[in-house]
Amino acid sequence: MTTSHYIAGRWVEGLGSDCITVNDPSLGQPFAELMAASVAQVDQAVAAAREALPAWKQVSASARARYLRGFADQLGQRREALIALQMRNNGKPRHEAEIDLDDAVATFVYYADLAEQLPQKNCDVPLAAPGFTARTRLEPVGVVGLIVPWNFPLVTSAWKLAPALAAGCTVVLKPSEVTPLIEQAYGQIAETLGLPAGVLNIVNGKAETGAALSSHSGLDKLSFTGSNSVGSQVMRSAAAQCRPVTLELGGKSAIVVFDDCDVDQAVEWIVAGFTWNAGQMCSATSRLLVQEGIADALLPRLQQALEQLRVGNPSSAEVDMGPLTSQAQWLKVASYFATAREEGLRCLAGGKALDREGWFVSPTLYTDVPVDSRLWTEEIFGPVLCARRFSTEAQAIAEANDSRFGLVATVCSADLERAERVADALEVGHVWINSVQAVFVETSWGGNKGSGIGRGLGPWGLSGYLSVKHVTRCLG
């Protein structure tokens, strides 16, 4: 695959020095290679977006909405191929890959609707002072760089790309080098729809490509989803340009289970919260706080559920959990298993890599984990759950909030007044009550503390790509 970059409306060969190897994590084997974009090609992509911006800004909101609906329709037409690629390159079970595709489609439809409402946002502003009129005008931020991760390709890019295009921005998208193939669909769809050249550009590469994009003086905004270590580098690059950023970073989220819960229902919510996508989620609720009155009944039932979880190759069997997406992540999770042994943590389930081809690990449960354990405080990005008991509501809130992260949380209780009260007290960006992690495009996404800056999804996602201009006129 040589023509792997979409720049100024054309597919071009990568001229960078890095060769990107694309792997099937269920087998631990490569199945494609492509050459990274060079720094000069990143320059070309930004220049193409800059050149396309004036005309794209003038395209009517209704016309932009038609393009967005076209993306949604075309994703649907490519449904089976994209699901198969998610399964092969990410190791996602089919039911997870299907939800990813549906999520991306819904995102483009939602922002098409919001794009059509944008003209109504340009309105007169009442003034207390006589002799003046004022009006508000919403304008696109400009050329934006979008850097997306490997755990939810296609989805995270839709969450960024759809609102950016709806706002009238032009885009340079950099997918992860771990999963570079599925975002190619967006370039193919742009061609099919006749999206003006330069409005969407896609450059693939490793750290060199990402650094070239994040530090580029031709960008007006950066939106990054990924690790805190890389996010801090992106933020430093943005600071040098005094450029706005949106960052969606890591998490070490809590799930709080009170003793009035149905045990089987609580187990379902707990398991889904840390084994979906093999735990490779910034939102994984990997810290379990369980009230003392239910702990002795819940923990053995949770252990049993994890031992019964079907782990395997999504292409060869119906499975509940697939492999970790990369060998690097597999080695990282294995290192935490070693740390748990060094710390003497009590392991009720899992705690090991599986002895088979591919990058599989067992879903894992540690109990009575100290608050100073690395496994309690650090983001593992794998199917590893650490549990602690609590006695009072106040203790649960304090321990849930005792984290440098603040992305999400889940509260499980039959007492809905208490559940709502605890949800309001948690220092996070999104809380689920008595639910799996259902994410809707209409709600916001983002976190507090070290989990990032800004919000995606909902109207907040669109506003992140709009600038506000006020025009004040003297009537005298």
* Residue 446 counted as domain residue: no
- The C-alpha atoms of residue 414 and residue 392 are separated, in whole angstroms, by 16
Per-residue model confidence as pLDDT tens digits over 161-205: 999 999 999 999 999 999 999 999 999 999 999 999 999 999 999
* Residue 179 counted as domain residue: yes
Burial class (CB in 10 A: 0-12, 13-18, 19+), 439: middle
What is the helix (H) or strand (E) element at residue 255, kind and residue range?
strand 254-257
Shared domain for 230 and 336, answered yes or no, is no
Per-residue model confidence as pLDDT tens digits over 281-301: 999 999 999 999 999 999 999
Shared domain for 304 and 373, answered yes or no, is yes
* Residue 116 counted as domain residue: yes
- The C-alpha atoms of residue 39 and residue 51 are separated, in whole angstroms, by 18
Shared domain for 177 and 311, answered yes or no, is no
Burial readout 83-108 (b: 16 or more C-beta within 10 A, e: otherwise): bebbbbbbbbbbebbbbbbebbbbbb
Q: What is the sign, positive or negative, of the torsion defined by CA atoms of 341, 344, 345, 349? A: positive
Per-residue model confidence as pLDDT tens digits over 335-358: 999 999 999 999 999 999 999 999
* Residue 43 counted as domain residue: yes
In three-state secondary structure terms, 434 is: coil
Is residue 167 within 8 A of residue 223, CB to CB? The reply is no
- The C-alpha atoms of residue 183 and residue 198 are separated, in whole angstroms, by 16
Shared domain for 262 and 143, answered yes or no, is no
| Tokens found for residue 468 | 């506000």
Burial class (CB in 10 A: 0-12, 13-18, 19+), 2: exposed
| Tokens found for residue 182 | 């599925």
Shared domain for 40 and 171, answered yes or no, is yes
Q: What is the CATH number of the domain that holds 144?
A: 3.40.605.10
Amino acid residing at 414: A
Shared domain for 227 and 82, answered yes or no, is yes
288-293-296 Cα angle (round to 5):
70
Amino acid residing at 473: R
Question: Annotated active-site positions, please?
Answer: 248, 282
Q: What is the sign, positive or negative, of the torsion defined by CA atoms of 353, 354, 357, 359? A: negative
| Tokens found for residue 120 | 């109504």
- The C-alpha atoms of residue 71 and residue 85 are separated, in whole angstroms, by 18
Shared domain for 182 and 325, answered yes or no, is no
* Alpha helix (H) residue ranges in 242-291: 263-275
- The C-alpha atoms of residue 19 and residue 367 are separated, in whole angstroms, by 43
Task: Tell me how far the alpha carbon of residue 361 is from its chain's centroid.
Answer: 22
Shared domain for 173 and 286, answered yes or no, is no
Shared domain for 470 and 433, answered yes or no, is no
Burial class (CB in 10 A: 0-12, 13-18, 19+), 11: middle
- The C-alpha atoms of residue 264 and residue 303 are separated, in whole angstroms, by 12
Q: Has this prediction a pTM greater than 0.85?
A: yes
- The C-alpha atoms of residue 79 and residue 87 are separated, in whole angstroms, by 12
* pLDDT tens track, the chain, 476 positions: 556 899 999 999 999 999 999 999 999 999 999 999 999 999 999 999 999 999 999 999 999 999 999 999 999 999 999 999 999 999 999 999 999 999 999 999 999 999 999 988 889 999 999 999 999 999 999 999 999 999 999 999 999 999 999 999 999 999 999 999 999 999 999 999 999 999 999 999 999 999 999 999 999 999 999 999 999 999 999 899 899 999 999 999 999 999 999 999 999 999 999 999 999 999 999 999 999 999 999 999 999 999 999 999 998 878 999 999 999 999 999 999 999 999 999 999 999 999 999 999 999 999 999 999 999 999 999 999 999 999 999 999 999 999 999 999 999 999 999 999 999 999 999 999 999 999 999 999 999 999 999 999 999 999 999 999 999 999 98
Shared domain for 70 and 55, answered yes or no, is yes
Q: What is the CATH number of the domain that holds 385?
A: 3.40.309.10
Q: How many domains does the chain divide into?
A: 2
* Residue 189 counted as domain residue: yes
- Rg of the chain over CA atoms, in angstroms? 23
| Tokens found for residue 173 | 């998208």
Shared domain for 153 and 110, answered yes or no, is yes
Tell me which residue range forms the domain holding 23. Answer: 5-249+451-474
- The C-alpha atoms of residue 422 and residue 289 are separated, in whole angstroms, by 13
Shared domain for 324 and 416, answered yes or no, is yes
